[in-house]
Amino acid sequence: MAKPQHTVRKIEQGSIAEEMGIEPGDVLLTINGSAVEDIFDYRYLIQDEYIEVLIRKPDGEEWLLEIDKDCDEDLGIQFENGLMDDYRSCRNKCIFCFIDQMPKGMRETLYFKDDDSRLSFLQGNYVTLTNMSQRDIDRIIRYRLSPINISFQTTNPELRCRMLNNRFAGKALEQVRRLYEAGITMNGQIVLCKGINDGAELERSISDLTAYLPHLESVSVVPVGLSRFRDGLYPLEPFGAADAKEVLSCIHRWQERLYPQYGLHFVHASDEWYVMAGEELPEAARYDGYLQLENGVGMLRLFLDEFDEALEEAGAAAKDGGWDRTAGELSVVTGRLAYPYVREMAGRMTERFPFLRIHVYAITNDFFGEQITVSGLLTGQDIIAQLRDKPLGTRILLPQNVLRSGEDYFLDDVTVAEVEKALQVKADIVKSSGHDFVYTVLGVRQSE
């Protein structure tokens, strides 16, 4: 197989690459005389203070660039292939896999199951370790790449084989010991399935994983996501309030046991468990610096704390005459999970700013099924259908996570423009920040 060609897609303004005359369309050939296999090699080879970079221009001319720079300073190059190599797909057939629960007819990229350790390092993706060779582990250790995020599910080797439908899944856990002994920082995840890896199995998994402290910094426990497209798949059941309370009780016991010794709470429940159980969210300090924010651990707490801070700032600015806005009537769109919190925040804003009138709408996920309550899986068609006859005001606020990263369309390929046209209202995108929520509601961007 031909090795991928490392073609430059973009050069960052003011970067070393721009200064050296590297341009989009150029091809990276070697660094310090060494061929570059993938992003791991690239990141490692550019760390030195002096490097020699060989590139080929579109006309075939080759340039050998001698570069003096600070240690670890980036060159400012973005490649057409972010991994600089082929993406590795997942070889497992996990009983809980959400991609297997996707309907037919969606865009092709939504069906790709990644299990690539390089994406774990670059983007925070979780990997099962079943797709990694000894050479992959050697390179992580050699290059000191961390953190590596691992989907454990269970530390029971036999049960892990059954859950991942991979007879090597239990043995793959042995790789964790090598990473631990090399001092590689790790984070873990357990996707909890009712009656399978919960209860005594969850206790066992947490107990086993504490052996990798402090290099294994955190382990999140998240409930399995169940869509309505599960025909022919393993029969999984949703968790209820009593189940959620039991899970939280287990996690809290371990936190109380581990924190005095390690200064880490280590095992964390995702936000869904607290909402399901009807329990208060933990204070910010319990999240150990929000190590697993993108995994839904502490997202609501951080959002609420940022909101409190921004509300005080905005109130003080209004009192001092810092700005004069009349945001008027608007609507906020959210999933059912966050709805009670967003509704409370909207109420507090209207108390502080009487000129506001805010409608908060919890969108039921008819597309994937009512069991899916997070905003990140809402579709444009559900938003349109459920808001078409509702009072909306002059704007609707959409959470940024409903859109594909860097794009303006939803999971179902409906665009923001199509939502605006169907509802005859302007849509504003709110970042995952309590600050941005306050200022977007008020019609004031934070940069103003």
Structural domain for 266, as ranges? 99-295
Is 84 within the bounds of a domain?
Answer: no
- Tell me the pLDDT of the chain (448 aa) as tens digits: 456 789 999 999 999 999 999 999 999 999 999 989 888 888 889 988 999 999 999 999 999 999 999 987 899 999 988 766 666 667 889 999 988 998 888 877 676 666 655 655 555 688 899 988 898 899 889 888 888 999 999 999 999 999 999 999 999 999 999 999 999 999 999 999 999 999 999 999 999 999 999 999 999 999 999 999 999 999 999 999 999 999 999 999 999 999 999 999 999 999 999 999 999 999 999 999 999 998 899 999 999 999 999 999 987 776 655 554 556 899 999 999 999 999 999 999 999 998 899 999 999 999 999 999 999 999 999 999 999 999 999 999 999 999 977 788 899 999 999 999 999 999 999 988 999 999 999 987 554 4
25 shares its domain with 121:
no
Beta bridge partners of 126: 149
Q: Read off the tokens for 306.
A: 């940022």
Q: For the domain that residue 75 is a member of, what is the CATH number?
A: 2.30.42.10
Question: Does 88 map to a domain?
Answer: no
CA angle at residue 180 from 175 to 185, to 5 degrees? 110
Structural domain ending residue among the three candidates 269, 295, 321: 295
Task: Note whether 236 and 360 are same-domain residues.
Answer: no
Residues 171 and 27 in one domain: no
Residues 281 and 327 in one domain: no
Would you say residue 279 lies in a domain? yes
The one-letter code for the residue type at 23 is E
The strand ranges marked E within 128-215 are: 148-151, 186-192
Say if residue 282 is in the same domain as residue 316. no
Contact in structure between 277 and 245 (CB atoms under 8 Å): yes
Q: Is the CB of residue 376 less than 8 Å from the CB of residue 363?
A: no
Given 79, 112, 136, the domain boundary residue is 79
Q: Could you tell me the CA-to-CA distances from 226 to 147, 223, 229, 239, 334 in Å, in that order?
A: 29, 9, 8, 10, 19
SS3 of 7, please?
Answer: strand
Evaluate whether residue 446 is within a structural domain.
Answer: no
Both tokens assigned to 391: 């009072």
Domain count, the chain: 3
Residue with tokens 């996990």: 94
Hey, what's the torsion of the CAs at 138, 143, 148, 154, to 10 degrees?
A: 20
Q: Hey, which residues does 5 pair with through a beta bridge?
A: none
Closest by CA to 370, choosing from 263, 267, 247, 238, is 238
Residue 105 and residue 40 share a domain: no
